[in-house]
Amino acid sequence: MSRVGVPVVVVAGFLGSGKTTLLNHLLREGGRDGSVGARIGVLVNDFGAVNIDAMLVAGQADGAVSLANGCMCCSVDRDGLDAALSTLLRPSARIDAIVIEASGIAEPRALIRMVTGSNDPRMRYGGLVYVVDAAMFARTRHEHPEIDLHIAVADLVVINKIDLVEPDALDDIRMVLRELNPTAAQISVIDARVDPAMLFDPVVAPDADASDSAGDDAGPVQLTLDALFHDPGPRDSEPLDCGTADEHDHDHEHGPGEHCHRHLHDEFTSVEFTSTAPMDPRRLARFLERPPVGCYRIKGVAHFDLPGHRQRHIVHGVGGFVEVRRDSWAGQVRQTSIVAIGTGIDRDEVLSVLTAAVADDATADDEHGILHITRHLPAR
């Protein structure tokens, strides 16, 4: 069975936008004890800047914080980023998703290039999440116009602190963001409460019987610091160096008398497509590489009826960056199942495009079309 790469999500945003709150929310709600049940690895420049919720911390050593819910947080600078990723990607770490908080490590564009340019099959690009302070948006753009470039390459824009602006002002912010980035998903929140399931898939823990029969590797266990940094074997990594604090987020705390919108956050939506008919690889690749407006990520399996390519194709796409893995159908029904996840997605458009991507008489034997899919396979 081919294991898909671990998604690496980059979180960026200007000083005070709410990145710290978002990270803590993901660790609480996305971790083993939360709704997603994932073991999350977080890379930050400095623990003091991130101020991890003290209730989560289980131990600290060698530039890493071990969290009680099974997650890990590593302090790293740009020079140590590759080593930190390699450490978190080791099988013994059992990390399900990695989040990089960009401040003090690297400029967001550089981080995107680093992740998407990696040939490490253990990871895949999980998207750039850019956090915007709704109350300070206009002033921040005026004083720091370079943030427009960051917003332009984001895959998901989180409009935070919407309880501090009037509805008309929020509409104006959304319009400006759409002009800066016409295709990214937008989500409006209070206290950076983004559903972790929008960023990465829920993890299904095996049942007790399966754990007993399969051994220690079957189920989630607390990862000790010693196990992470002193794993015996040729790929052992050196402890990570700590960076220096470049940024401190100071999120607004909302009192009981302050204005608050009715909904804490926009619900993300998903559009599902299923077909037992084989797909046209050219058209499907075009959909994956040019996702619809508001789509944050695409996942699923695809069925092609072409000689030498009848395996199950597992596809993931974020912001036009696509990963494809192949394995056996192993008795499963040969069918395509694609899910597009985001906000404000035009359901009819997605279904129409994917329906048109079903192979027809003119494309059924297009043996060269599959190259548009196989070029996204990991390099050997």
Residue-wise pLDDT for 292-319, tens only, equals 999 999 999 999 999 999 999 999 999 8
Contact indicator for 185, 297 with CB cutoff of 8 Å: no
Query: pLDDT value at position 71?
Result: 56
Q: 27-31, 212-216, 348-352 — which one is most confidently predicted on average?
A: 348-352
Strands (E), 235-285: 269-275
pLDDT at 166 over 80: yes
DSSP string computed for 127-159: EEEEEEEGGGHHHHHHH-TTHHHHHHT-SEEEE
Confidence class of residue 73 from pLDDT cuts 50, 70 and 90?
Answer: low
Give the total residue count for the chain.
380
Q: How far is CA 103 from the centre of its chain?
A: 17
215 against 159, higher pLDDT? 159
Which has the closest alpha carbon to 164: 248, 255, 249, 267? Answer: 255
Query: pLDDT value at position 92?
Result: 83
Where helices occur in 255-313 by DSSP H, the ranges are: 281-289
Query: pLDDT value at position 243?
Result: 33
Contact indicator for 327, 301 with CB cutoff of 8 Å: no
Strands 269-275 and 336-342 turn out to be antiparallel
| Contacts (Cβ under 8 Å, ≥6 apart) of 379 | 119, 121
Query: pLDDT value at position 169?
Result: 96
pLDDT at 223 over 60: no
Query: pLDDT value at position 90?
Result: 87
Q: Mean pLDDT across the stretch 126-132?
A: 96
pLDDT at 1 over 50: no
State the CB neighbour count (10 A cutoff) for residue 368.
9
| Contacts (Cβ under 8 Å, ≥6 apart) of 256 | none
Confidence class of residue 219 from pLDDT cuts 50, 70 and 90?
Answer: very low
Query: pLDDT value at position 238?
Result: 33
Query: pLDDT value at position 176?
Result: 98
Confidence class of residue 48 from pLDDT cuts 50, 70 and 90?
Answer: low
pLDDT digit string, tens, across residues 325-355: 999 999 899 999 999 999 989 999 999 999 9
State the CB neighbour count (10 A cutoff) for residue 296.
27
Give the CA angle between residues 102, 106, 111 to the nearest 5°: 80
Q: Mean pLDDT across the stretch 172-188?
A: 97
| Residue 303: both structure tokens together | 């069925």
Sheet holding 269-275, edge to edge: 269-275, 336-342, 295-302, 312-318, 321-327
Q: Which residues pair with 272 in a beta bridge?
A: 339
Lowest mean pLDDT among 54-68, 143-157, 249-263: 249-263
State the CB neighbour count (10 A cutoff) for residue 269.
16
